[in-house]
């Protein structure tokens, strides 16, 4: 890419951030500076896709059982606390609309600021989530570093940073709150399975995927409501991105669910019938 094009794009992004960033949160760490966020994503991708596996190539896998158990406990507690805190200031806030919540940079009411604090807590947890992949690489479970896994973690960092910079407290807030609940359940499963309870919790794993599908289905509807009727003048382009992204994630997770559970069940049933015939 020619240097003048790079300079032009850099200027556009800088002006966008300078003119439209939310003054209520612009002083928070990792908000209002796209380059620092992109640098973290770049380091993450470089490690999990290249340098990490190469570094571990001739080393024995790390034993991280206790570290991961502690990590899972922290995730369960943090996601649960932030979820409850955030929901208290949406459900019990008469000024918050689940149908169409506008972007209001001038809204500094205590209820709105507490919702923004919860959203920022959620944003910080997305960085903590990156350790999932780091642990996978250090344990030499590289087959688990799928496109869906890496895309989801890197994409969430980028997407939530944009949300916090420009759209804090708006219609997008519900995405974070729903995701917090899903992650609390998911990390509780990881913690239980690390204690050898996998055989007793296999049914739970399948239903966690169903919960994730329900999450993406609800969020698709959540953004579709704004596309169909937009009384709060929420940015239609952002609503469309939210709508299409959640359809994409639903399709990706459904493909995983189908291949992991439905197709295997059909093959098992077919093999059983073949053995009995």
Of 20, 50, 58, 152, the catalytic one is 152
Respond yes or no: is residue 58 known to be catalytic: no
Kindly report the length of the chain.
277
The answer to whether the CB of 75 falls within 8 A of the CB of 189 is no
Pairwise CA distance, residues 271 & 193, whole Å: 29
- Distances from the Cα of 8 to the Cα of 4, 5, 37, 169, 214, angstroms: 6, 5, 20, 31, 41
Closest-CA residue to 169 (of 214, 258, 209, 109): 109
- Distances from the Cα of 91 to the Cα of 127, 148, 171, angstroms: 27, 32, 14
Pairwise CA distance, residues 107 & 96, whole Å: 12
Instruction: Give the active site residues.
Output: 152
């Amino acid at each position: 890419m020619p240097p003048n094009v790079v300079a032009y794009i850099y200027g556009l992004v800088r002006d966008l951030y300078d003119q439209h960033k939310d003054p209520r949160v612009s002083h928070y760490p990792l908000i209002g500076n796209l380059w620092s966020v992109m640098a973290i994503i770049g380091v993450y991708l470089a490690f999990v896709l290249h340098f990490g596996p190469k570094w571990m190539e001739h080393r024995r896998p790390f034993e991280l059982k206790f570290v991961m158990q502690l990590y899972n406990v922290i995730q369960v507690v943090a996601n649960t606390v932030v979820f409850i805190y955030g929901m208290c200031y949406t459900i019990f806030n008469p000024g918050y609309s689940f149908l169409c919540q506008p972007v209001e940079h001038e809204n500094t009411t205590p209820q709105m600021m507490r919702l923004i604090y919860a959203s920022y807590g959620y944003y910080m947890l997305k960085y903590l989530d990156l350790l999932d992949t780091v642990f996978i690489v250090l344990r030499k479970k590289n087959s688990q570093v799928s496109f869906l896994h890496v895309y989801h973690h890197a994409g969430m960092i980028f997407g939530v940073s944009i949300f916090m910079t420009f759209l804090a407290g708006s219609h997008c807030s519900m995405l974070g709150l729903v995701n917090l609940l899903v992650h609390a359940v998911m990390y509780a499963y990881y913690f239980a399975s690390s204690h050898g309870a996998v055989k007793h919790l296999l049914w739970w794993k399948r239903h966690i995927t169903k919960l994730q599908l329900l999450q993406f289905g609800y969020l698709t509807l959540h953004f579709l409501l704004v596309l169909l009727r937009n009384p709060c003048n929420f940015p239609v382009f952002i609503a469309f991105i939210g709508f299409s992204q959640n359809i994409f994630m639903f399709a990706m997770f459904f493909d995983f669910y189908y291949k992991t559970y439905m197709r295997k069940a059909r093959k098992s049933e077919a093999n059983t019938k073949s053995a009995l015939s």
